[in-house]
Structure 1
């Protein structure tokens, strides 16, 4: 069965849609909260166990948010009899893209992104000026970048959450 990657920039609604999919009894994992993503020191390759919050100036230049390929491979093997929704993104997306049968990219405009990051209560990423600037910078070319990675479906993350989830489910039935 397909492994569906629900991706997009920080703040587009991946975790919210993951929670909704779970409430609809779908097999969905939140890459950030379910242990698939972690901070990595780009110099040494070592995972960061206890990252600072908020990150100090320059921290994002050395450390990156990355998805564990090994954990995604194990997820795919474990869930071979049902559709699995993997909700998350990381800087090494290109290194794990081949593991997914379908990629769905959620997109929002910069104003929506700024408002969501500054007001969200689920985590603090994006509230610090350096993090917000990095997220807004990444948002500029996010849709094009995910299309280059093979995102076959792009969903407007400003739509009501139930419509976003419905669009993801509809795309997954086409695989």
Structure 2
């Protein structure tokens, strides 16, 4: 089975796709909301328990949104029996990239990023000018970066059900650099 990393710029539609896949009964985790991601001080390595909202000027220079590898490893173990989807965007994804069978990057234009972040109701990230600027900087290179890494690119402006369908179809596309995971052979 496959573990699929569903990523993209803030506002690309990751959480919305996550919700649709969950409604379809898929093993799906929103890394931002289910304890996989957290703010970490890049200098001390300390996890920030109660981050400010909105972030003050300079916050994003010192603190990074990072994923917990041990949590992803546990999820990867579950996907030996069923396909799974982990949805999120983090600065340290290189530390967990080897755990995914497939990566899907949802792409949207800058106007869509601005509009979606401005209209968010369940997540305030991107409403502050510094956060929006960071999202737009990420958006400028996301599609090219993920293409070079072999990710499946999906237009995040398509109807949500269609985007979710393309994400589930992508699980059958394995990255050539990563062999399929196999179950350990029991000792004889």
**Offset from partner CA, 1:73-109 (integer Å, 9 cap, x none):** 0111133200000111100011111110000000000
State how far apart, in whole Å, the 2-side matches of 1:107 and 1:60 are. Answer: 22
Native 8 Å contact 2:102 2:173 kept in 1 = no
Partner of 2:172: 173
- Report if aligned partners of 1:105, 1:155 keep a CA contact under 8 Å in 2: yes
Structure 2 SS opposite 1:173: coil
Alpha-carbon distance in structure 2 between the residues aligned to 1:98 and 1:150: 13
Q: Determine which structure has more spread, i.e. the larger CA radius of gyration.
A: 2
Within 5 Å, which residues of 2 pair with 1:69-148?
Answer: 69-148=69-148
Q: Residues 98 and 150 (structure 1 numbering): CA distance in 2 closer, same or farther, change over 3 Å? A: farther
Say whether 1:14 aligns with 2:14.
yes
Contact 2:155/2:163, CA 8 A, preserved across alignment: yes
Hey, what's the Cα distance between the residues in 1 that align with 2:12 and 2:81? 29
- Separation in structure 1 between the aligned mates of residue 42 and residue 56 of structure 2, nearest angstrom: 16
**Distance (whole Å) between structure 1 residues aligned to residue 48 and residue 148 of structure 2:** 29
- Runs of 4+, deviation exceeding 6 Å: none
Match of 1:46 in 2: 46
> TM-score, normalised to structure 2's length?
0.90
Name the residue aligned to 1:65. Answer: 65
Runs of 5+ consecutive residues of structure 2 not aligned to the other structure: 175-188
- The RMSD of aligned alpha carbons is 1.0
The alpha-carbon deviation at position 174 of structure 1 amounts to 4.0
What is the TM-score normalised by the length of structure 1?
0.96
